[in-house]
Amino acid sequence: MRGMDVPPGIKHASTRCGSGSPGWTDSDRHWRDRTIARFLLATGAAATGTADEIVLSLREYCFMLHRMLLAGLWFAVTSLPSGPGIARTLESGGFRYTEDQPPAYVDARELISEWPRKLGQDSDPWRVWQVDSQIDFRKGQYAAYLDYIYEPRSQELLQYAAQFEIQFEPTYEQLVIHRVEIFRDGHWESRFDPAHITLARRESEFESLMYTGKVSALIVLEDVRVHDRIRMQYTIKGSNPIMGDLLGDSLNLSGHAPTARRQIRILSDAPLAHTIIGATIKASEKQVDDHRELHWLGKNLAAVSKNERAPNWTFPLPTLLVSKQRTWSDVVNWALTLYPEPVPLNAELQLKLATLKALPTIDQQIIAALRLVQTDVRYFGMELGASTHRPAEPNEVYQRRFGDCKDKSRLLISLLRQLGLRADPALVSIAHGKSLTQHPPSAAAFDHVIVRVALANRTVWLDPTQTLQGGDLAHLSTLPYGRALIIAPGERELTEVIRPASDRSEVDISESIESGTGDSIVIALSQRSRGDIADVMRRDLASNSSSEISKRWRQLYTKTLGTATEVEAIRVADDMTRNEIEIQAKFRIEQPWQRLDAGHNYLDLHAAALLQFLEPVTEMERTVPMAQAFPMTLKHRIELLPPKGRQLQFGNDKLSLTDKAFDYRREISRKGDVVQVEHLFVSKSDVITDADLPAYARNLRQVFDASSVRAIAGLGEASLQKSRQERMKQLINDLTRED
């Protein structure tokens, strides 16, 4: 998924939640793994790619579902060219679209003829001349018009500029194309050619285990040149009937490329609620005849820089959130109709229920029910029509053995209620987290469903889409969902999803290093993971062979110490009750000691838990705060036994750092001949503010410096004297041979 820095790479689709979107599904259910991806790359989790590539693509996809509809770039011209004449319906691949004039409600502006001087003249690879979004909410209908013009400014970008994709759901949406044009040599030229427009079901979300039924209109342009202005103008009519009157939209106000003009115009026959985030320009609203009209206009908008490690609750681009004026209780009442009491459980589920009831405690019954749904029903979403938001019957879900988040949640709720527990669906947003409080109430604000269980002395949050999740009820990880809307009678507001104080992610690595044969060393490795890090490790171990895990460790040791081979195969001990998983192995490293001088060798000892898990600060100028894994504890202990006849030397035995976001301590101690190096890193916050970032970056650099400790092995006095005698003897022999 490209951002607005590569204009045509955006999927300009009607993928707003509540219409053509997958709705309450968890295509991004592994978003939590971002916080540990970098660590797992080197310690046995991620097979290929960078840490960002492992997780970011899924998170950005879910995030962009809310912003994609009219998120784009902009354009330029001299006069409005004429559009198509009489409407005509065209077919491709068994699907239909229409060529026609823009809708009557559209208020078109004269196009810009010259690029604004304020935005500069030469440096940017893309120019966006115009993005004009106009949405009609009136009379129970929905239509979204987009007029989008962009300019590639280098030969390299033509491959992206010449292709464009529009997604829509043909069962309830209609694609109407108004213009496909190029501006060159002072005039506009139509490039609308049905022969170069292909409609096909690409199912881009299939790899995310969802079938949505969306169709892509793929537009391929011929003869596109550098500095051409490319114009795509179209409307998508219709919305998912299941949403009723609870639609909402999220629209970017600017992008990662400079934009000459951005307009948003929204018409509604009911009062509108809107929020603007990250922009100082305000929207105006007025009554026009029998409807309300919301208008936002931005000119000469500079490119917004992209920030890595952005918290999921932030908005990377200035954004307008809008919906008809509703309350959260309106959303609850609507959702209650989607979650009626299910039909009686079938015989197979009744047998499972009897097994659950036989367990001695409520906690055990809850965990067993959760494991049943997590294990027996695989994740897969059939997101077609009403099924985007209406869950299937529990009997059907269990019989077919697959379902998405809402299907699996309803099945789990049915079991828990049969156990006499108060269990309800809870709507959350993976894309927005705790920033849901900034959204106008709308069903479109959510993209995932979990389960809230209200016990006498505590509230438990369960996610039945998790796989291989460990822990009893006391050790079960609660992910940082931020806010939830509980679907139960009387619920009127969002509820904070509080993570128990005891719920911490922890990695504890221990390496015992002894001299091997020749110049080699042998490392006895132990890695113990707890909390949601253990969940991720468990999934990785289930997806990869032990030889693959061993290979990753060998690669890490080869990179940092020397050629590594396996001495003892990977052994795994998994405590599902406490959610702890331990990996043990032994590796031989050839010739790790490096010569320092005539009497000394050295060995650099690296703390992989810090080097691979923590991420250095690479940018100081940010538009959003920086995220950090929290709550998290990293421990790395190295025990080194010196080579025979040598003595170990270390400096700077102790180091302690205190930052607002973390505490770090390193200690070096001796027990006889054995030297022990201990690192401890404890995160204290999930975010680093702009004000705290300079100190954080400076302190984190010290952590990285301290994570590598040099051990120097010097000859003892007796060994040193013997070495001198041997060198002298060798010198005499050499001189004798010369005579």
572 and 668, same domain (yes or no): yes
Q: Does residue 280 belong to any structural domain of this protein?
A: yes
Q: Is the pLDDT of residue 598 over 70?
A: yes
Q: Is the pLDDT of residue 8 over 80?
A: no
Task: Return the pLDDT at 646.
Answer: 83
402 and 509, same domain (yes or no): no
**What average pLDDT does the segment 520-546 reach?**
95
Q: Does residue 40 belong to any structural domain of this protein?
A: no
Side-chain-side CA neighbours of 282 within 13 Å: the count stands at 2
Task: Return the pLDDT at 371.
Answer: 98
Q: Does residue 61 belong to any structural domain of this protein?
A: no
From 256, 291, 325, the end of a domain falls on: 325
Task: Return the pLDDT at 624.
Answer: 93
SS3 per residue for 440-469: CCCHHHCCEEEEEEECCCCEEEECCCCCCC
Q: Is the pLDDT of residue 45 over 80?
A: no
Q: Number of helices and strands (H, E) in the chain?
A: 13, 39
422 and 289, same domain (yes or no): no
Give the least confident one: 77-91, 322-336, 395-409, 416-430. 77-91
Task: Return the pLDDT at 683.
Answer: 97
The CATH number of the domain holding residue 423 is 3.10.620.30
Q: Is the pLDDT of residue 653 over 80?
A: no
491 and 523, same domain (yes or no): no
**Any idea what DSSP says for residue 493?**
S
294 and 347, same domain (yes or no): no
Task: Return the pLDDT at 672.
Answer: 87
**What average pLDDT does the segment 496-520 reach?**
91
535 and 677, same domain (yes or no): yes
534 and 397, same domain (yes or no): no
When the pLDDT of each residue in the chain is averaged and rounded to a whole number, the result is 86
Backbone angles phi, psi at 505, to 5 degrees: -85, 140
Task: Return the pLDDT at 25.
Answer: 32
The CATH number of the domain holding residue 712 is 2.60.120.1130
Q: Does residue 251 belong to any structural domain of this protein?
A: yes
Q: Is the pLDDT of residue 106 over 70?
A: yes
Name the residue with higher pLDDT: 368 or 29.
368
Q: Does residue 738 belong to any structural domain of this protein?
A: no
CB-CB contact of 334 with 244 (8 Å): yes
The two structure tokens encoding residue 305: 């820089």
Residue 441 — very low, low, confident or very high, per pLDDT cuts 50/70/90?
very high
Task: Return the pLDDT at 41.
Answer: 34
Task: Return the pLDDT at 515.
Answer: 87
Residues 330, 332, 336: CA angle, nearest 5 degrees: 120
The two structure tokens encoding residue 310: 């952005």
Most confident of 71-75, 204-208, 548-552: 548-552
Task: Return the pLDDT at 84.
Answer: 53
523 and 670, same domain (yes or no): yes
Which residues partner with 571 through β-bridges?
584
Q: How far apart, in whole angstroms, are the C-alpha atoms of residue 514 and residue 524?
A: 9
Q: Exposed, middle or buried: residue 487 (CB in 10 Å: 0-12, 13-18, 19+)?
A: buried
Q: Is the pLDDT of residue 58 over 70?
A: no
Task: Return the pLDDT at 424.
Answer: 98
**Any idea what DSSP says for residue 531?**
T
480 and 523, same domain (yes or no): no
Q: Is the pLDDT of residue 68 over 70?
A: no
Q: Does residue 390 belong to any structural domain of this protein?
A: yes
Q: pLDDT, tens digit, for every residue of 368-382?
A: 999 999 999 999 977
104 and 214, same domain (yes or no): yes
Give the least confident one: 20-34, 274-288, 324-338, 635-649. 20-34
**What average pLDDT does the segment 183-211 reach?**
82
Q: Does residue 32 belong to any structural domain of this protein?
A: no
By three-state DSSP, how is residue 315 classified? coil
The CATH number of the domain holding residue 314 is 2.60.40.3140
Task: Return the pLDDT at 53.
Answer: 35
Q: Does residue 633 belong to any structural domain of this protein?
A: yes
Task: Return the pLDDT at 732.
Answer: 61
- Residue 427: other Cβ atoms inside 10 A: 28
Q: What percent of the chain has pLDDT over 70?
A: 83
Task: Return the pLDDT at 73.
Answer: 32
Give the least confident one: 25-39, 451-465, 528-542, 598-612. 25-39
Task: Return the pLDDT at 76.
Answer: 28
The two structure tokens encoding residue 716: 């003892």
Q: Is the pLDDT of residue 192 over 80?
A: yes
CB-CB contact of 397 with 403 (8 Å): yes
**What average pLDDT does the segment 596-622 reach?**
89
181 and 243, same domain (yes or no): yes
Q: Is the pLDDT of residue 70 over 50?
A: no
CB-CB contact of 556 with 562 (8 Å): no
Name the residue with higher pLDDT: 77 or 152.
152
Task: Return the pLDDT at 12.
Answer: 33
408 and 261, same domain (yes or no): no
Q: How far apart, in whole angstroms, are the C-alpha atoms of residue 494 and residue 692?
A: 30
From 496, 530, 558, the end of a domain falls on: 496
From 273, 300, 325, the end of a domain falls on: 325
Q: Is the pLDDT of residue 210 over 70?
A: no
**What average pLDDT does the segment 176-200 reach?**
97
Task: Return the pLDDT at 724.
Answer: 52
Buried residues in 280-316 as b, exposed as e (16+ CB within 10 A): eeebeeeeeeeebbbebebeebebbeebebbbbbbbb
**What average pLDDT does the segment 222-230 reach?**
97
For residue 532, the enclosing domain spans 505-719
Structural domains of the chain, count: 3
Side-chain-side CA neighbours of 210 within 13 Å: the count stands at 26
**Any idea what DSSP says for residue 390?**
S
Give the least confident one: 141-145, 451-455, 694-698, 721-725. 721-725
Side-chain-side CA neighbours of 208 within 13 Å: the count stands at 23
